[in-house]
Chain A
Amino acid sequence: MKIHLKIWRQQDAKTKGKLVDYMLDQVDHHMSFLEMMDTLNEQLIVKGEMPVEFDHDCREGICGTCGMMINGQAHGPVPGLTACQLHMREFEDGATIYVEPFRAKAFPVKRDLKVDRSSFDRIIQAGGFITASTGQPAEANTLLITHESAESAFDSAACIGCGACVATCKNSSAALFTSAKISHLAKLPQGEKEAAKRVLKMVSRMDEEGFGHCSNTEACEVECPQGISVLNIARMNWEYTKANLLKD
Chain B
Amino acid sequence: MELDAKIPAGPLENKWSHYKAQAKLVNPANRKKLPVIVVGTGLAGASAAASLAEQGYPVTSFCFQDSARRAHSVAAQGGVNAAKNYQNDGDSVYRMFYDTLKGGDFRAREANVYRLAECSLNLIDQAVAQGVPFAREYGGYLSNRSFGGVQVSRTFYARGQTGQQLLLGAYQALMRQVSLGKVILYSRHEMLDLVVVEGKAKGIISRNLDTGVIERFAAEAVVVATGGFGKIYYLSTLAMGCNGSAIWRAHKRGALMACPSWTQIHPTSLPQSGDYQSKLTLMSESLRNDGRIWVPKLANEERAANDIPEQERDYYLERRYPSFGNLAPRDISSRAAKERIDAGFGVGAQKNAVYLDFSKAIKEQGKDKIKEKYGNLFSMYKKITADDAYIAPMKISPAAHFSMGGLWVDYELMTTIPGLFAIGEANFADHGANRLGANSLLQACVDGYFILPYTLANYLSGELKKDKITVEHPEFERVEKEVVTQLNELCQIKGTKTADYFHKKLGKLLYDKCGLSRSKTGLTEAIAGIKTLRAEFYKELIVPGSAAEINGELEKAGRIADYLEIAELMCHDALSREESCGAHFREEYQTADGEALRDDKNYCYVSAWEWAGIDAAPVLHPEPLEFEFIKLSVRSYS
Which among A98-106, A115-123, A207-215, A233-241 touches the partner chain?
A115-123
Say whether, besides A65-B66, A117-B67, A154 and B165 are in contact (CB < 8 Å): yes
Whether B122 is near chain A, meaning CB under 8 Å from some CB there, is yes
- Whether A131 and B176, one on each chain, are in contact in the complex, defined by CB atoms closer than 8 angstroms, is yes
**Which one, B127, B276, B498, B501, contacts A35 given CB within 8 A?**
B276
Complex Cα–Cα for A178 and B496 (A): 46
Whether B392 is near chain A, meaning CB under 8 Å from some CB there, is no
- Whether A110 and B544, one on each chain, are in contact in the complex, defined by CB atoms closer than 8 angstroms, is no
Q: Closest residue to B386 on the A side, CB-wise?
A: A89
- Whether A49 and B126, one on each chain, are in contact in the complex, defined by CB atoms closer than 8 angstroms, is no
Whether B500 is near chain A, meaning CB under 8 Å from some CB there, is yes
- Whether A146 and B165, one on each chain, are in contact in the complex, defined by CB atoms closer than 8 angstroms, is no
Whether B253 is near chain A, meaning CB under 8 Å from some CB there, is no
Complex Cα–Cα for A151 and B172 (A): 20
- Whether B133 and A154, one on each chain, are in contact in the complex, defined by CB atoms closer than 8 angstroms, is yes
- Whether B125 and A126, one on each chain, are in contact in the complex, defined by CB atoms closer than 8 angstroms, is no
- Against A, the Cβ 8 Å flags (1 = close, 0 = not) of B236-262 are 000111000000000000000000000
Q: Please indicate the chain B residues that have their CB under 8 angstroms from the CB of A31 in the complex.
A: 274, 276
Which among A51-59, A164-172, A216-224 touches the partner chain?
A51-59
- Whether A141 and B141, one on each chain, are in contact in the complex, defined by CB atoms closer than 8 angstroms, is yes
Q: Closest residue to B67 on the A side, CB-wise?
A: A121
Q: Please indicate the chain A residues that have their CB under 8 angstroms from the CB of B199 in the complex.
A: none
Q: Please indicate the chain A residues that have their CB under 8 angstroms from the CB of B550 in the complex.
A: 53, 110-111, 114
Complex Cα–Cα for A46 and B499 (A): 11
Whether B602 is near chain A, meaning CB under 8 Å from some CB there, is no
- Whether B133 and A157, one on each chain, are in contact in the complex, defined by CB atoms closer than 8 angstroms, is yes
Whether A124 is near chain B, meaning CB under 8 Å from some CB there, is yes
Complex Cα–Cα for A81 and B384 (A): 10
Q: Please indicate the chain A residues that have their CB under 8 angstroms from the CB of B274 in the complex.
A: 28, 30-31
- Against B, the Cβ 8 Å flags (1 = close, 0 = not) of A13-42 are 000000000000000101110110011001
Q: Please indicate the chain A residues that have their CB under 8 angstroms from the CB of B239 in the complex.
A: 57-59, 63
Q: Please indicate the chain B residues that have their CB under 8 angstroms from the CB of A125 in the complex.
A: 175-176, 178-179
Q: Which of A45, A46, A118 has the most CB of B within 10 A?
A: A45
**Which one, A34, A51, A64, A133, contacts B544 given CB within 8 A?**
A51
Whether A246 is near chain B, meaning CB under 8 Å from some CB there, is no
Which among B46-54, B359-367, B483-491 touches the partner chain?
B46-54
- Whether A161 and B383, one on each chain, are in contact in the complex, defined by CB atoms closer than 8 angstroms, is no
Whether A72 is near chain B, meaning CB under 8 Å from some CB there, is no
Q: Please indicate the chain B residues that have their CB under 8 angstroms from the CB of A153 in the complex.
A: 131, 133
- Whether B276 and A61, one on each chain, are in contact in the complex, defined by CB atoms closer than 8 angstroms, is no
Whether A60 is near chain B, meaning CB under 8 Å from some CB there, is yes
Whether B90 is near chain A, meaning CB under 8 Å from some CB there, is no
Q: Which of A55, A116, A121, A158 has the most CB of B within 10 A?
A: A121
Interface residues in B35-78 (C-beta closer than 8 Å to A): 47, 50-51, 54, 65-70, 72, 74-75
Interface residues in A41-93 (C-beta closer than 8 Å to B): 42, 44-46, 48-51, 53, 55-65, 80-81, 85, 87, 89
Interface size on A, residues (CB 8 A): 77
Which among B156-164, B310-318, B573-581 touches the partner chain?
B156-164
Whether B187 is near chain A, meaning CB under 8 Å from some CB there, is yes
- Whether A117 and B66, one on each chain, are in contact in the complex, defined by CB atoms closer than 8 angstroms, is yes
Whether A138 is near chain B, meaning CB under 8 Å from some CB there, is yes
Distance in angstroms from A189 CB to nearest chain B CB is: 10
- Whether A140 and B125, one on each chain, are in contact in the complex, defined by CB atoms closer than 8 angstroms, is yes
- Whether A190 and B140, one on each chain, are in contact in the complex, defined by CB atoms closer than 8 angstroms, is no
Complex Cα–Cα for A63 and B240 (A): 11
**Which one, B210, B240, B383, B384, contacts A57 given CB within 8 A?**
B240
Q: Which of A61, A117, A151, A157 has the most CB of B within 10 A?
A: A157
Q: Please indicate the chain A residues that have their CB under 8 angstroms from the CB of B496 in the complex.
A: 46
Q: Please indicate the chain A residues that have their CB under 8 angstroms from the CB of B47 in the complex.
A: 134
- Whether B159 and A154, one on each chain, are in contact in the complex, defined by CB atoms closer than 8 angstroms, is yes
Whether A150 is near chain B, meaning CB under 8 Å from some CB there, is yes
Distance in angstroms from A170 CB to nearest chain B CB is: 25
- Whether B65 and A63, one on each chain, are in contact in the complex, defined by CB atoms closer than 8 angstroms, is yes
Whether B542 is near chain A, meaning CB under 8 Å from some CB there, is yes
Say whether, besides A62-B74, A185-B131, A49 and B544 are in contact (CB < 8 Å): yes
Whether B134 is near chain A, meaning CB under 8 Å from some CB there, is yes
- Whether B72 and A150, one on each chain, are in contact in the complex, defined by CB atoms closer than 8 angstroms, is no
Complex Cα–Cα for A86 and B164 (A): 21
Q: Please indicate the chain A residues that have their CB under 8 angstroms from the CB of B126 in the complex.
A: 132, 134-135, 137
Whether A184 is near chain B, meaning CB under 8 Å from some CB there, is yes
Say whether, besides A63-B75, A81-B383, A146-B140, A134 and B54 are in contact (CB < 8 Å): yes
- Against A, the Cβ 8 Å flags (1 = close, 0 = not) of B260-282 are 00000000000001101111011
Distance in angstroms from B433 CB to nearest chain A CB is: 27
Whether A130 is near chain B, meaning CB under 8 Å from some CB there, is yes
Interface residues in A137-191 (C-beta closer than 8 Å to B): 137-141, 143-147, 149-151, 153-154, 157-158, 160-161, 184-185, 188, 190-191
- Whether B175 and A124, one on each chain, are in contact in the complex, defined by CB atoms closer than 8 angstroms, is yes
Q: Please indicate the chain B residues that have their CB under 8 angstroms from the CB of A158 in the complex.
A: 161, 164
Q: Please indicate the chain A residues that have their CB under 8 angstroms from the CB of B241 in the complex.
A: 57
Whether B625 is near chain A, meaning CB under 8 Å from some CB there, is no
Say whether, besides A49-B544, A158-B161, A143 and B128 are in contact (CB < 8 Å): yes
- 27 A-B pairs (CB sep. < 8 Å): A28-B276, A35-B276, A45-B553, A51-B544, A56-B240, A58-B72, A60-B279, A63-B74, A65-B66, A80-B379, A87-B384, A114-B550, A124-B69, A124-B175, A125-B179, A130-B129, A130-B130, A132-B131, A132-B173, A138-B129, A146-B136, A150-B136, A151-B136, A154-B165, A190-B128, A190-B129, A190-B130
Extra contacts, 18 of them, besides A45-B498, A59-B279, A137-B129 (Cβ < 8 A), are: A38-B500, A42-B500, A57-B241, A58-B240, A60-B380, A87-B386, A89-B386, A118-B66, A124-B172, A124-B175, A129-B130, A129-B175, A137-B128, A141-B86, A146-B136, A150-B133, A151-B133, A154-B133
The 8 closest A-B pairs by CB, nearest first: A144-B140, A129-B172, A137-B129, A125-B179, A134-B51, A132-B129, A150-B136, A154-B133
| Partner-A contacts on B (CB < 8 A) | 47, 50-51, 54, 65-70, 72, 74-75, 84, 86, 122, 124-131, 133-142, 158-159, 161, 164-165, 168, 171-173, 175-176, 178-179, 187, 210, 239-241, 273-274, 276-279, 281-282, 379-380, 383-384, 386, 449-450, 453, 496, 498, 500-501, 542, 544-545, 550, 552-553
